[in-house]
Structure 1
Amino acid sequence: MQKTLGRPLSTDWVSTSTAAYELGISRSHLLNLKSDGTFKLGRHCRDVRRTNAMRATYKWNLPLLQKVLDKGPEIR
């Protein structure tokens, strides 16, 4: 009998490198979009670092990122 995880794994959540590649932007631009509030922690990305790690490790929800980028900048 195979052991199952408590929650199914989703292919929507990808690494920073994969997200940047799929979106056609650099890793640094992706992180800048998170820093400036375009992408929200918890909705568009999540921190999956180990408990005592100093540096954050993110997973990104690719379909949600694409929706935000397809929408374009807000006109104020």
Structure 2
Amino acid sequence: MAKVSLRPLDDRVVVKPSEAEETTAGGIVLPDSAREKPQRGTVIAVGPGKLLDSGNRGELSVKIGDVVIYGRYGGSEVE
């Protein structure tokens, strides 16, 4: 896996979306305009965790390499 130059802050993560399906279950080839935005991806970077009132950092439940599912309109796209 390539080294990522992004360094998320606090409890944020960077996810590389999975490729969108090119064909349907029935074998119909979908054009780019008809493909749905993927909602599954692989975690490629994680922040250090949320800063708690105690001054400690909360541990994240995901790590680099985990496959995650996220909301359709969740997050921000970066290139």
Task: State the TM bucket, normalised to the shorter chain.
Answer: under 0.3
Structure number having the greater strand percentage: 2
Structure number having the greater helix percentage: 1
The TM-score with structure 2 as length reference comes to: 0.26
The TM-score with structure 1 as length reference comes to: 0.27
Larger Rg: 2
